[in-house]
Amino acid sequence: MISTPVRQRVITGDELLAMGDIGPCELVKGRIVPMSTTGGEHGLLEAEIARHLGNFNADHKLGWVVSGEAGVYTQRNPDTVRGMDAAYISKARHPARLKGYLEVAPELIVEIVSPNDRWRDIQDKLQEYFAIGVETVWLVDPKERAVFVYAELTDLTRVTEKEILHGEGALAGFTLSLAELFAEM
């Protein structure tokens, strides 16, 4: 007997959001793509980066900080919703309190490399982020104890744990000691 593969129905970002907690996943071209949980080191880095961004934002009140795989649309029809480890979006880009998945590109997206991440998948995400107007991506690599600051796919700077990470544009004045960030790792 020949079996026919079951085709997954294409869904929208709104439908994904309405499903509630179905576990870690992203929506890629209308299809749910499960993600592995990331572990403690990843969670600590995500929380620390979000805390530092949040402290900066509390002092300046110029934007919004999101973390915990907050979603952003990178494509419509079919929808792609990518989960970001952390992001900053200015009130100039999004004046109202955030609801649902972001439909406006944040100025900054932070991605933390997990042990099971594939380089091709990371590059695909970066390409999608820049295509929607993200200005900067910080790719945090715990193994290298460094942050790769991307202004575009081919324009990157490596910041090591002996250096200070500096915000730009909407985050001008933000600084983060990578020695402090990686101290407990």
CATH number of the domain at 159, please: 3.90.1570.10
What's the total number of domains in the chain?
1
- Chain segment 106-156, per-residue pLDDT in tens: 999 999 998 888 999 999 999 999 999 999 999 999 999 999 999 999 999
Is the CB of residue 157 less than 8 Å from the CB of residue 136?
no
CA distance linking residue 88 with residue 53, whole number of Å: 8
* H or E element at residue 128: helix 119-131
The answer as to whether 151 is a domain residue is: yes
- Chain segment 34-85, per-residue pLDDT in tens: 988 888 899 999 999 999 999 999 999 999 999 988 999 999 999 999 999 9
Domain containing 61 equals 38-182
The answer as to whether 58 is a domain residue is: yes
Of 80, 75, 81, 102, nearest to 90 by C-alpha is 102
Is the CB of residue 44 less than 8 Å from the CB of residue 32?
no
The answer as to whether 32 is a domain residue is: no
The answer as to whether 137 is a domain residue is: yes
The answer as to whether 172 is a domain residue is: yes
In the prediction, which pLDDT does 92 show? 96
The answer as to whether 66 is a domain residue is: yes
The answer as to whether 130 is a domain residue is: yes
95 cis-preceded (ω within 30 degrees of 0): no
Give the residue ranges of DSSP H helices in 31-118. 40-60
Residue whose structure tokens are 């700077």: 157
Q: What is the pTM of this model?
A: 0.92
- Chain segment 152-180, per-residue pLDDT in tens: 999 999 999 999 999 999 999 999 999 99
